[in-house]
Amino acid sequence: MAIKQVSIFVENKPGTLVSITDAIGAAGVDIRAMSIADTQDFGILRLIVSDAEKTKQAVREIGCVVSITEVVAVAVSDRPGALNDVMHVLSENGINIEYMYAFLTSRGHNAYVVLRVADNDKAAKILASRGVALVSEEDISKL
């Protein structure tokens, strides 16, 4: 079980980010979560949005390079140690994390963690077998 994440190439030049948020806002898309990976010359903006395809079109139209990546999202209780439990499950099963980031919502008592791993299906199976709550596209849309 995986969800769609939009990844956008962002050159390290003033004005680039704002033109992207302009376009996404204009398309009526809601950003649920975001993170930016940065290097000296460029960044990769990663977004969990209310409508991945619409976002992709909108940023393509302003000339950005964009791709959609499948990532695993889990819900963890918002208490100390909860994330650690999930990390243990992954580590004990040899699942490497490429990157991760988290977000909260105004509703509910959970935090949500987005993970990029090499094999989404394998990771999902293992997490589910250990009682970790996986988040689906439908769940995201209801948040």
Residues that bind another protein (CB under 8 A): 5, 7, 9-11, 13, 16, 37-39, 41-42, 44, 46, 63-67, 69, 98-99, 116
Q: For another protein, which is the closer residue by CB, 3 or 76?
A: 3
* Closest distance of CB 90 from another protein, Å: 17
Query: Cα separations (Å) of 42 from 10, 31, 38?
Result: 6, 21, 6
* Closest distance of CB 71 from another protein, Å: 9
Greatest Cα pair distance, the chain, in angstroms, is 46
* Closest distance of CB 44 from another protein, Å: 6
- Write out the two tokens for 97: 């994390």
Are 125 and 89 in contact by the 8 Å Cβ rule? The answer is no
Q: For another protein, which is the closer residue by CB, 34 or 37?
A: 37
Q: For another protein, which is the closer residue by CB, 65 or 104?
A: 65
Q: For another protein, which is the closer residue by CB, 118 or 128?
A: 118
